[in-house]
Chains A and B, each alone.
Chain A
Amino acid sequence: MFKNYLKIAFRSLKKQAFFTFLNTFGLAIGMAGGLLVALYVYDELTFDTMFTDAHRIYRVDADIKFGGAEMHSAENAPPMAAVLKNDLPEVENAVRIRDVGSVLIKKSESTDNTKEEKVAYADASFFDMFGLTLLEGDAKSALEEPNTMVLSKATALKYFGTRKVVGETLVLNNKEVYTVTGIVEDLPKKSFLRTHKIFLAMAGNEASKEEIWGSLNYFTFIKLIPTAHESTIKKHLEGILDKYMLPWAQKYFPGMNKESFLASGNYVRYYTIPLTDIHLYSNRDTELSANSTIQNVYILSFIGLFLILLATVNFMNLSTAYSLKRAKEVGIRKTLGSNRGHLMVQFLTESGLVTFIAMLFAVAFAFFALPFFNSMAGREIIFPFTKPFFWIILVAMSLILGLLTGSYPAFFMSQFLPIKSLKGGSNTSEGGSKVRNTLVVFQFAISVFLIVSTLVVFKQLKFIQAKDVGFSKDQVLVVKDAYAAGDKLQTFKQKVANLGSVKSVAVSSFMPTPSARGNSSFFEQGSMAQEHAIQMQKWKVDEDYLQTLNMKLIAGRNFNAARISDSTAVIVNEATLANLGVSAEQALGKRITEDVDSENPVFYDVIGVVKNFHFKSLRENIEPLGLFMQPSRGSVAVKLEASNFTATIGAIQNIWQKVAPGQPFNYAFLDDEFNRTYEAEQRLGKIFITFTILSILIACLGLFGLAAFNAEKRTKEIGVRKVLGATVSQISYRLTVDFLKLVMVGILFSLPVAWFAMNRWLLDFSYRINIGWQVFVLAAAIALAVAIITVSYQSIKAALSNPVKSLKTE
């Protein structure tokens, strides 16, 4: 019986090749999209699960408000790890990681430094706790001694060409000699350590031994014993303030007690976050590596579901439409003894077959699209061909989808009455066409929703790029890691400034692009109480900084290197004025200090107020910031003339190599750095546009099939109309306009939903666009245009057909 079903399924699919193609292709595209999304979501959800006992590992975070500064830190105080391990029997182990940032590394005998980005201090039991085995060396003792280091395999190969390098030495930052004591397998791509390559023994980090509760610099991970629960830790963490933090703070702020501390709105709160939640739920001031958000997972899951839904709807639509052609078969089978059950099984077999074939295609499509998807989503997902789990899911999915897509057509067709369907049975289509219309409306509603979303994302991106950020980011070359030049930095600056194609050069600690930097508490002279603290960014710049980045002063003057008093001068930004409670003009001459507990505080005179500029993402508000004319070794900003960048860069590199031989020359353009801030949005934009195109494609395949079917069904009507004198354009208009009505209804449904959803998305940005009616008009126009093109081909074809032929066959 089943064989018979399969046979007839194969033959009837072959007979209606066009319909089968539309159906399979549409379904395959939808499933391929869904498959990619599923792989992505699975990848996201399984971050950091490869570590031994990952479910027992937590990171200890801190929320601290002190003196007006709010910190949401993923890092903690140096003693935290030891305190938790000693105080609580439930804590099996605790380790700290301290990011060092970039480090210059060379082999002892060499003079050529290489810059390594991800270097971190780690406690001795770090490898043990995360279950990382060492390829060389002993995991338990590798990081016990000061000035020992563990390299990743790739790093070892890079420096030594072999991994058998235990006992070899490397020189860090031209002075510290480290001995390699272990080699670790490159860290898993799907982990919070994915970018880390070099681990130094925490024993060599003096600050890690200090009992300081006020600085948060150590990522602290604890592992609980199997029977312990997160809540026991929570309780203990609440007691840290009384037990450790206040006694420590009283050394610096005598007389401060818990009441006075809390009264001024301050707080200290410690939390644990499960290791496996970090990737999707943690968004702290600094993270060990860039995290994703659960929101992205949701958005993509929805898009994936939409795609599969669209494809399913398509399938149901086309199947029911084309099923009318098979009414005769249903009639014959019924008179020959088939009951509804038989027919349902038969049609489900067919849909199952199509789904299965589509699934095979989908796997192929997804396989070839995966590299593109990876680069778009910034992931390194591998196709899990070898995992039985994956294939089980695939087969289960095609079964479920087969049932789902086949159920309506099967239900619909199996209820045909034999006599009617044998006679021609076109009257059975009425109920079906209502469902079909609803489904078309639904499809276009989703497509238009996605179009609107895409347009809004891109409009916001364009807005960001075009927004006046308060400085000029064009033609600015940033030479990074200026510290590598050592004391020759000023020489480098002078030589570069003397180049004809360079307008100006500035050395500073920070550029106005997001980077890791904290706030400092400043106090205005005369109101030195903790609660009056102003949380400010402290940037070290030189007198050329404002000019090089084209920042505008709204009051006061720029630094003057010739004035000795300017070394204790500060230029604040507009945002600081609110904290000072004065206007720009009034701010001049105010004095601020960060030495609150010192006998002889250094006061800085406000000599200027700079127009607000964005130095973080536009998602965030501009915070108070002070520019200080102090020597710094962060980066060198070079404003270029608008000509021949390559030659100028070559010239600058030449100077660098003469001034700092053997040191790496790292540079980037400021506008590229700026755009990198919005990488997440750009990714979202790309993902949206891809999936929007896919969804439109699927909807169009469906519409195309329906139009073809409709034209065929109305062949006789068209023939009669033509004989009676209707023109081609009149007929094609008639055939097209019916579909357009459905598309219009779909558009009307989706616009308010899209408006609501995208407004929610935009709320994330402190600086955002108004969506505006144009977006909706454009989206509607796109949908309509695509629908017209899709349908009109069939309509015109039908209208052009010879009436004599069509009437004869009736």
Chain B
Amino acid sequence: MLLELKNIFKWVNSGGQRVFLLKDINLKVDEGDFISIMGPSGSGKSTLLNVMGMLDGFNEGEYNFLEQSVHTLKEKKRATLYKEYIGFVFQSYHLLDELTVQENLEMPLLYKKFKGSERKAMVADMLDRFNIVGKKDLFPAQLSGGQQQLVGVARALIANPKLILADEPTGNLNSNQSEEIMQLFQQLNKEGVTIIQVTHSEKNAQYGKRIIQLLDGRMV
């Protein structure tokens, strides 16, 4: 088992009232899973993803990731944990505009203190695998949305995470580009990467092995 959420509650206080963002979420994710989270706007999909990605906290409940109880971990430990095992893919790609494709790919490796030669090999490998060798010296603004997201996925994968969290990865893409990214995800999943994606699209959700529906912070 990769991760487990038990009775997760998250709320904010707004105007003296407690507004629940997540209500009693229970979820087990095994290695090799491919989960699609669906639900209308404001239903808590992104919040749930952020909680699982340890970018956001929660108010009540338990969260175990690879046998470690995340809710008791110190901030720093938690950061090392997600850096090690989780890769993020964002709707608006979030590539660094000032860096080239190659440099964007290299960045997570820098933070993980890989040696220069290793980094070069890993980046080259990834460029090869995603067929973007020819674009390695271009800046994000010179790429199409689909290509940018391709780089985004490549960047998320480069440090060999166990889990990929994707927040509407195709939200800004047209249907052809979406298709491509989804097939890529499917392929990765077959190779053993666990994927959890948030999506609005029924079609894309179908790529997942499991679909979770959220409504007003609750799983339905």
Contact = CB atoms under 8 A, between A and B. Distances in A.
Partners in one complex: yes
Interface in A326-357: 328-329, 331-333, 335-339, 342
Given A419-B55, A419-B56, A422-B90, A336 B107 contact: yes
Contact of B88 (A8, A11, A328, A335): A335
Contacts of B112: 337
Interface in B88-114: 88, 90, 94-99, 103, 106-108, 110-112
Interface of A: 1, 4, 7-8, 11-12, 15, 328-329, 331-333, 335-339, 342, 418-419, 422
B107 A11 contact: no
B107 A4 contact: yes
Contact of B50 (A12, A328, A333, A419): A419
Contacts of B96: 8, 329, 332-333
B7 to A, nearest CB: 23
Interface residues of B, number: 24
B98 A336 contact: no
Nearest to A329: B96
Q: Which of A1, A329, A335, A339 has the most CB of B within 10 A?
A: A335
Contacts of B95: 332
6 contacts: A7-B99, A15-B97, A335-B88, A336-B111, A418-B55, A422-B94
Interface of B: 50, 53, 55-56, 76, 79, 83, 88, 90, 94-99, 103, 106-108, 110-112, 155, 159
A8 to B, nearest CB: 5
Given A15-B97, A337-B112, 10 more contacts: A7-B99, A7-B103, A8-B96, A329-B98, A335-B55, A335-B94, A336-B107, A337-B159, A419-B55, A422-B94
A407 B131 CA distance: 42
B111 A342 contact: yes
Contact of B108 (A1, A337, A339, A419): A337
Contact of A333 (B103, B107, B159): B107
A328 B108 CA distance: 16
Given A7-B103, A336-B111, A337-B111, A331 B94 contact: yes
A452 to B, nearest CB: 45
A337 B78 CA distance: 11
Contacts of A418: 55
Contacts of B108: 336-337
Contacts of A419: 50, 55-56
A198 to B, nearest CB: 68
| Top 5 A-B pairs, shortest CB-CB distance | A337-B111, A11-B98, A337-B83, A336-B108, A332-B94
A12 B139 CA distance: 13
Contacts of A342: 111
Contacts of B76: 339
A529 to B, nearest CB: 90
Contacts of B55: 335, 418-419
A785 B87 CA distance: 54
> Which of A12, A328, A333, A336 has its CB near the most chain B CB atoms (within 10 A)?
A336
Centre residue among B53, B56, B110 by max chain A CB count within 10 A = B110
Nearest to A419: B55
B93 to A, nearest CB: 10
A333 B83 CA distance: 11
Nearest to B83: A337
Contacts of A338: 111
A12 B110 CA distance: 19
B94 A8 contact: no
A4 B98 contact: no
A553 to B, nearest CB: 84
A4 to B, nearest CB: 6
